[in-house]
Amino acid sequence: MATDPIAARLATLPGFQRLPSPKLTLFVRRAFLDPADCAHLVDLIDLGRRPSTIADPNGDTAFRTSETCDLPATDRVVAAVDAALAAATGLDPRHGEPIQGQRYAVGQEFKAHTDYFEPDGADFARYCSVAGNRTWTAMIYLNEPEAGGATRFKAVDKTIQPELGKLVCWNNCRADGTLNPATIHHGMKVRAGTKYIITKWYRERAWGW
Ligand SMILES: O=C(O)CCC(=O)C(=O)O
Ligand SMILES: [Fe+2]
């Protein structure tokens, strides 16, 4: 059976808990970021937010209703988080997309989706011809909304609650490299308060710039 070297590494790190599922390689690490860094990132997201977009629009204009922020790689905290993620995971930082922030107000959500690009989707060549598809996702909750906003992985019946500084990371592929539909997840509606997260996606090859 193929093995996943990144998962093998994460399993050895203090505080990293692996989801006990043969279908999905997913880890949670509580308090990966400290409150001051989370607060700084929240401020950056509030300053730079724009409506979120999706690849391969499916006709549902309410599919992803959040806002997104392209975080500046030159920011001291953004650079430190980038380095910390690469150091923890062992993923090649050159394969990483720039870190994004996401902000969900009350009622906003990102319906069930996978983070990889569908090979038969209209946008596949545009998004994947240089760097290849997405491999790992790293996502960090920057705060705890007062209600709602959990991330639900329905194929493995796992719901992760937002918690300040909590890192969730998973492999969008199986150990043999094929895309894993069991990674499907839903950023559920915020019911009270505002939810802030950062997302970092890694690619098969170096990101083009
Ligand atoms: O907001 C969430 O909990 C999930 C976010 C997400 O899935 C994404 O940005 O791709
Ligand atoms: Fe996602």
Ligand 1 centroid to Cα of residue 87, in Å, is 22
Residue identified by tokens 């923890």 is 88
- Which atom of ligand 1 lies nearest, measured to the CA of 149? 3
- Which atom of ligand 1 lies nearest, measured to the CA of 185? 7
Distance CA 11, CA 81 (A): 20
Say whether pTM exceeds 0.90. yes
Superfamily of domain covering 5-203: q2cbj1_9rhob like domain (2.60.120.620)
Nearest CA to ligand 1 atom 9: 199
Distance CA 182, CA 155 (A): 5
For the chain, the structural domain boundaries read 5-203
Per-residue pLDDT of the chain (209 residues; tens, 9 = 90+): 568 999 999 999 999 999 999 999 999 999 999 999 999 999 999 999 999 998 888 899 999 999 999 999 999 999 999 999 999 999 999 999 999 999 999 999 999 999 999 999 888 999 999 999 999 999 999 999 999 999 999 999 999 999 999 999 999 999 899 999 999 999 999 999 999 999 999 999 999 75
Helix 76-89 with 35-48: angle, nearest 10 deg: 120
